[in-house]
Structure 1
Amino acid sequence: MKEIVTIQVGDFANFVGSHFWNFQDELLGLAGDPSADSVFKNQDLNMDVLYRSGETHQGILTYTPRLVSINLRGSLGSMSSRGTLYTENAHTTPDVVTWTGRVSTQASERYEKNLFLQRLYEEEENVNMVNEIHGSSSGSQSQYQDKDIIECLENGVQCWTDYSKVHYHPRSLYELNGVWENVEEFDNYGIGRDSLAAQGEEISDRLRIFVEECDHIQGFQFVVDDSGGFSAVAAEFLENIVDEYRNIPILLYAVQGSGSHINLQSRKRTILEDLHDAISFSRLSSYSKLIVPVGLPSLSKSKASRFLHIEDEKHYHSSAVYAAALHSISIPFRMVPIGPTADACSVSGAVDVHGLVQMLSGQGRQNMVSVLDVAMPAPALAGGQNELSLLENLQPLTPQIAEDVEDVHAIEHVTVHGAFASEGHRASVREVKDTVDTAFRCANTRPMFCHLSVALCPLPIPLPFPSIFGNHIGQHGELMGGQFTNSSRKGSLDIHSIPMAARLRSSSAVLPFLESKLRNLNRFGIAPGAAGAELLRSWGFGREELVEMEEMLSKMVVALRPPQLSSDSE
């Protein structure tokens, strides 16, 4: 087995991570549920790749994510920083024998559990109640409770823990000391640059615990909220990781919530955010051979939301879509190796993190930037005459991407799972492979190389998943006939699972994204009289370091620019 250690840094990264781990928890529950769909029982997915087995002091066996999560102090809501598995003694005020004056204690306001978390707690306290709920039909009382919980989540999610149904290891959740939850103020690279200084070793120790438990670690899955100060925290942490674990690849997702930079109040604010994005990307990409920018300015208005009903202002919504895509991309990392009966198996196309990084950063494209695309839900293989094909439905979740770009050196990794051959009939692994092969042969433009991974197991939709599906999506994610509209929304009570397709691609389509970072760094930070030069100095960046970043971005642009454009610009 080749294990993965996941790292989540920052508020939105943990919003994404909360949904991601809910998917894994749901898969584990369905695999052991006698009444669940058989497609979830023989998944041929090794969950030990992401999870670790343990035992509490009371001898209770545990199964928790191999995870280090970093966020602001006060960001865990009602959850303890030691998770929920280990009982802590109540904190008492210590006797102060060297001080005879008055002693005062300051404490943050208690954050109460919402209805969803109360329900989880009650179920875990009463095993008989759990069995009764799972064994019953949709009785009116249970149905009312579920609807009440969903309404509570739709209108009241404030923290990523509000909808997390997963138990975490007591060493997984870390709150930065001295940095209290106020995301609006923790909003640029400079403010986060020194936040890790006094705590870096402690966080590294936590990571070391999970890494040393691994028999053969295949890589780090690193998710960072790069819209504010946490990009600096992540860059410093990444530097430590690269120094200590030189031969372990890092798959880096740089995520931003929809609308992160919409409310620009002034030119000064625009310059600050443009410089932040350029510096953040430059620093993060220098520590990873494969970085995947994720997060559209408006997910609700994008082609990726064709069948979805997204409210951009809700991180609870947009993070669910991004987490679903990350789940799909990670499936090949934990596929059980296939045997001689490959055509009859439920998975095909296993690849580890190292193999994926090497594949997408090929052709001399080092420190590669990859585009993430998704089809959610994926259409049936035998679509109608006027419907888009499976590959045509893949739409970017990476911002500032050029469309209809022909890149003869493009490399793609596609994952399809839970697909339907036609309405109501799931496709076999062979049918999916044949359909994708045919689509590539008939396409006007095709990548130089495409690796395809296929699994029969669809994406399960757990109870705390938001109500973001359009009204023409069926119980199992099938696209029903009629005109598609988002006039009404469906959620986990109506949708049990959905077929998914996701793609990572190394392509010159990402050039506009890179060129904007290079242009903004030069214009606002390096050029004579640059408006942001003093700001960058206050962040601790000297001219030599900025020039090095500019050179690195220039090399990335040149590596992706078509030959005729490169020669024209010389």
Structure 2
Amino acid sequence: MREIVTIQVGDFANYIGSHFWNFQDELLGLAEDPHGDSIFRSSSLNMDVLYRTGETHQGIPTYNPRLISIGLQGSLGSLSSTGSLYTSDPDPSDIITWSGNVSRYASEPQQKNLFLQTLYEEQTGPSAVSNDADVVSPTLQREVHDKDRVECLEKGVQYWTDFSKVQYHPRSLYELHSSWTDVKQFDNYGTGKDVLSEGLQGEEMNERMRLFVEECDHVQGIQFILDDSGGFSGVAAEYLENIADEYTNTPVLLYTVRDPHAYIHAKSQKDSITRSLHDAVSFSTLSSYCKLMVPIGLPSLSRSKLSSTLHVEDQKLFHCSAVYAAALHSISIPFRMDMRGPTVNTAYVSGAVDVGGIIQMLAGQGRQNMVATLDVAMPAPSLTGSILRSLNSLTPEVEEDVDDSQALESLITHGMLHAGRRASLSEVNDSIVAAYDCEMSKPKFSHASVSLCPLPIPLPFPSIFRSCVGRQGELLETPTEMTQTKGSLDIDSIPMAARLRSSRAVMPLIMKRLENLRKFGMQRGALGGGLLQNWGFGREEIEDMGEVMAKMVMQLDPHSQGSSGSDWD
């Protein structure tokens, strides 16, 4: 077994993770449905790569994500930090090692929304609902239609747990606690470092990591999703440093994600400098602890090229996180292609590769600690169109249509359609070869992975598809006469294409952070010098950060002006 441990750090990372695990849960359900689409029963995707088996205290078998989710205290909504598989936390009065008085302080629990109430009823049965005061709702006294459940999510998701239909391991969910209470102040790298300096939280997180890694037969890598727009960057850097020390040979694929709110214009010069230095420090530090970093998160999906097929409301994290989760699901497909065993049907998958293989392809050929872009087609067009030209970048601050003969890339397609039906492996592979042959500038190296299994659309998926998208994700020449958008009640699955690419396209992103570090943190009398000192960085450490980014620039373009010369006077 080649297992993957997934780590989600920060609110938006957990929003993305919630959708990601909903996709996996949907795949598991469809694989067991004897009346459903046979492609899901024969997908040749090994879910054990992402999931672990276990059992409750009552001996009931469980199958949960091999996941560590980290967020601020109070970010779990109605979900307990121990998940939903076990009973609630013990009463303090039951602790027999303490003979003194016990005072109990309890806050009112968050109420489950309609979707979670009905989900709980499905999992436990109607009798259990009637005995749980937290779940009882007048709405459940009548028949609840799926339309009502979808509508309740569209109207108001407040937490990433509000639309999660997955049961988590009791050691998966971790809430950070601190002496400060203002979440708005948790907005830069320094505050994240300060949080872990208080108490034993860092060691508690490390212990959870050991739990999931040590039960693996042979871990292939770590899938790390980080909301890096604020203090969680500092938290993640400490975590990644420990992983690098303790699991030296375990590759880390780092996705740094941002929601549209992170791009709101700074209110003052001080805020602007703080944000610029945060971005530079976060980028340089995090990249040094992993082999491959993939920045994700556009300022606006509604104004991107994806808007031709998707209608995303940028202000809704529920919406934009679904798009990024779909892309991450596609990227993970090759990691769990099951190519061994007598029951495996190799007519359903090709191009299997593990996490280390992807990193070696994109960052192992003279491009150490490299940054890759993520492109996606959602849904992907039929094979009559160009797969490569349909891809749109989800990585911000990049140069589009860059000509780079040294580019390295990995393309993943799944569930592709052709002439109104699901295309075969040979048809897809032939189409990919033809697409590359038509390109004026071909990459130095490319790898293609293909699966026939499309992306299933679970019930708690937002209604973001335009009317030009059909039930199987086909692009309709004549859009259906419906409401403006479609969701899980209208679309069963969609074909997807995604690409990780190491190229000169990321030069603007790196150069901006390097220039800001020099301007605000390194030059004589720099306005942000004191701020970096407050964050605990000395002169040599700041110079090292500049060296890291300058080296990246030189690796991408040896003739660039990204010289690593010192700016200190």
Shorter-chain TM-score above 0.5: yes
CA distance in 1, matches of 2:158, 2:147: 19
Deviations 1:511-533 (A, max 9, x none): 00000010111111111121111
Deviations 1:458-486 (A, max 9, x none): 00000001111111100111100148999
Deviations 1:421-453 (A, max 9, x none): 12x211111111100101111111111111000
CA distance in 2, matches of 1:155, 1:379: 30
Structure 1 residue corresponding to 2:524, chosen from 523, 528, 532: 528
Match of 1:400 in 2: 397
Structure 2 residue corresponding to 1:390, chosen from 362, 387, 391: 387
Percent sequence identity over aligned pairs: 61
- Compared CA separation, residues 550 and 334, structure 1 to 2 (3 A): same
Deviations 1:15-48 (A, max 9, x none): 1100000000000000001121111110100000
1:257 Cα offset (Å): 0.8
Name which of structure 1's ranges 492-501 and 147-156 shifts more when overlaid on structure 2. 147-156
Structure 1 residue corresponding to 2:450, chosen from 454, 457, 482: 454
> Is residue 468 of structure 2 the alignment partner of residue 469 of structure 1?
no
1:407 Cα offset (Å): 1.0
CA distance in 2, matches of 1:234, 1:569: 26
Deviations 1:94-118 (A, max 9, x none): 797556xxx7644333200000100
Residue identity opposite 2:494 in structure 1: I
CA distance in 1, matches of 2:515, 2:168: 42
1:568 Cα offset (Å): 11
The correspondence of residues 15-414 of structure 1 with structure 2, limited to 5 A, is 15-88=15-88, 90-93=90-93, 98=100, 105-126=104-125, 145-178=145-178, 183-197=183-197, 198-337=200-339, 345-383=347-385, 389-414=386-411
CA distance in 2, matches of 1:181, 1:42: 50
Residue identity opposite 1:121 in structure 2: Y
CA distance in 2, matches of 1:567, 1:309: 39
Name which of structure 1's ranges 264-273 and 332-341 shifts more when overlaid on structure 2. 332-341
CA distance in 2, matches of 1:14, 1:265: 27
1:305 Cα offset (Å): 3.2
Task: Please tell me whether the aligned partners of residues 413 and 449 of structure 2 are also in contact (alpha carbons under 8 angstroms).
Answer: yes
Structure 1 residue corresponding to 2:427, chosen from 421, 424, 431: 431
Task: Please tell me whether the aligned partners of residues 257 and 318 of structure 1 are also in contact (alpha carbons under 8 angstroms).
Answer: yes
Residue identity opposite 1:126 in structure 2: G
1:569 Cα offset (Å): 11
CA distance in 1, matches of 2:343, 2:53: 31
Structure 1 residue corresponding to 2:549, chosen from 539, 547, 553: 553
CA distance in 2, matches of 1:258, 1:455: 31
- Compared CA separation, residues 238 and 568, structure 1 to 2 (3 A): closer
Structure 2 residue corresponding to 1:539, chosen from 535, 539, 553: 535
Secondary structure of 2:53's counterpart equals strand
1:363 Cα offset (Å): 2.7
Query: Tell me, which stretches of 5 or more residues in structure 1 are unaligned?
Result: 130-140, 384-388
Deviations 1:275-319 (A, max 9, x none): 111111111101001000011111211113331011111111111
Task: Please tell me whether the aligned partners of residues 44 and 345 of structure 2 are also in contact (alpha carbons under 8 angstroms).
Answer: no
Residue identity opposite 2:227 in structure 1: D
Task: Please tell me whether the aligned partners of residues 189 and 278 of structure 2 are also in contact (alpha carbons under 8 angstroms).
Answer: yes
1:498 Cα offset (Å): 0.5
- Compared CA separation, residues 344 and 236, structure 1 to 2 (3 A): closer
CA distance in 2, matches of 1:403, 1:43: 34
CA distance in 2, matches of 1:467, 1:567: 44
- TM-score, L = length of structure 1: 0.92
Secondary structure of 2:72's counterpart equals strand
- Compared CA separation, residues 329 and 485, structure 1 to 2 (3 A): farther
Task: Please tell me whether the aligned partners of residues 546 and 564 of structure 2 are also in contact (alpha carbons under 8 angstroms).
Answer: no
- Compared CA separation, residues 545 and 57, structure 1 to 2 (3 A): same
Deviations 1:221-275 (A, max 9, x none): 0111101100100000000111100000000000111231214212221111111
CA distance in 2, matches of 1:203, 1:486: 48
1:156 Cα offset (Å): 1.2
Structure 2 residue corresponding to 1:511, chosen from 495, 507, 514: 507
Match of 1:132 in 2: none
Name which of structure 1's ranges 429-438 and 296-305 shifts more when overlaid on structure 2. 296-305
- Compared CA separation, residues 341 and 81, structure 1 to 2 (3 A): closer
Secondary structure of 1:260's counterpart equals helix
CA distance in 2, matches of 1:240, 1:25: 30
Residue identity opposite 2:395 in structure 1: T
Name which of structure 1's ranges 307-316 and 188-197 shifts more when overlaid on structure 2. 188-197
Query: Tell me, which stretches of 5 or more residues in structure 2 are unaligned?
Result: 129-140
Secondary structure of 1:196's counterpart equals helix
Structure 1 residue corresponding to 2:438, chosen from 438, 442, 445: 442
Match of 2:486 in 1: 490
Task: Please tell me whether the aligned partners of residues 338 and 347 of structure 1 are also in contact (alpha carbons under 8 angstroms).
Answer: no
Residue identity opposite 2:74 in structure 1: G
RMSD: 2.6
Name which of structure 1's ranges 267-276 and 156-165 shifts more when overlaid on structure 2. 267-276
Task: Please tell me whether the aligned partners of residues 409 and 447 of structure 2 are also in contact (alpha carbons under 8 angstroms).
Answer: yes
Residue identity opposite 1:516 in structure 2: K
1:194 Cα offset (Å): 2.3
1:567 Cα offset (Å): 10
- Compared CA separation, residues 487 and 463, structure 1 to 2 (3 A): closer
Secondary structure of 2:486's counterpart equals coil
- Compared CA separation, residues 251 and 406, structure 1 to 2 (3 A): same
Secondary structure of 1:29's counterpart equals helix
- Compared CA separation, residues 425 and 183, structure 1 to 2 (3 A): farther
Task: Please tell me whether the aligned partners of residues 377 and 499 of structure 1 are also in contact (alpha carbons under 8 angstroms).
Answer: yes
Task: Please tell me whether the aligned partners of residues 309 and 486 of structure 1 are also in contact (alpha carbons under 8 angstroms).
Answer: no
- Compared CA separation, residues 246 and 127, structure 1 to 2 (3 A): farther
Secondary structure of 2:178's counterpart equals strand
CA distance in 1, matches of 2:404, 2:414: 27
